[in-house]
Amino acid sequence: MRVVVPYAAEEPKTRLADTLSSDERTAFAEAMLADVLAAVRAIGRDPEILATAPVEADAPVTVDPRPLTEAVNAVLAETDEPVTVVMADLALATPGALAALFDTDGDVVLAPGRGGGTNAVVARHPEFRADYHGTSYLDHLDAARAVGAGVEAVDSHRLATDVDERADLAEVLIHGGSAPRGGRDSSSGADPREASRARSWLRRAGFGLADDAGRTTVERDAGFASRS
């Protein structure tokens, strides 16, 4: 089983441009990537990175500058062994959530993302191909059926939460690396002993939870905001 983590190495996380500078977005994206790689390794799998440009990371890197769909399908085409594709911005992914993905039987197993995306796919059928355009979750259901593959979905908030925009940062502060049994520091949620790299990065960058008309959002300490 190959475990491929696609990573947009150039100008990652552009939808966070209202919140983070370009350098900050790169650093935060790298922290999320490191979290995903660590979670994959924690369940005994060897992740590999599929990057649009060279990137320094603690895993083998294949560079393919093509769009996501084409790059992933090149991997699917070059092997008949099962391939799992896990997005690099799943900052809430834990070993347990990924284990549930890998433990689900099915020729094709999908982890839907919020808003119709596909945040992880286990492709055990050699003819399955990806299509990340549009509402990819529905397209992947169709693509699996089109090749006669049985499809299963994994129901996981952690895997459904890709971190794209400012509101998603609250999810990282609330759930990033936390185990519900642990204690927590009062301002930010999860047990700091178990905080993910992405959550720690946000905390160091001055982010905390805020309440905005009943919704939990994030705010940034003014000392940081003025420098960014």
Q: Rounded CA gap, 119 and 112, in Å?
A: 6
Considering only residues 110-169, where is the footprint of its own copies by CB under 8 A? Answer: 110, 112, 114-117, 134-135, 137-138, 141-142, 145, 150-153, 155-161, 167
Q: Which CB atom, from 96 or from 126, has the smaller least distance to its own copies?
A: 96
**Please, what is the minimum distance in Å from the beta carbon of residue 152 to its own copies?**
6
**CA-wise closest residue to 200 among 228, 223, 222, 172:** 172
Helices (H), 22-94: 22-42, 68-78
Q: Which CB atom, from 57 or from 220, has the smaller least distance to its own copies?
A: 220
Cβ partners under 8 Å of residue 176, min gap 6: 35, 91, 92, 189, 190, 195, 196, 198, 199, 202
Tokens encoding 130: 């990806």
Cβ partners under 8 Å of residue 108, min gap 6: 121, 122, 123, 124, 125, 128, 140, 144, 149, 150, 151, 152
Considering only residues 168-207, where is the footprint of its own copies by CB under 8 A? Answer: 170-171, 174-175, 180-181, 183-184, 189
Stretch that binds its own copies, among 16-24, 50-58, 67-75, 106-114 (CB under 8 A): 106-114
Is 25 near its own copies (CB under 8 A)?
A: no
Size of the site for its own copies (CB under 8 A): 42
Residues that bind its own copies (CB under 8 A): 96-97, 100, 110, 112, 114-117, 134-135, 137-138, 141-142, 145, 150-153, 155-161, 167, 170-171, 174-175, 180-181, 183-184, 189, 209, 211, 215-217
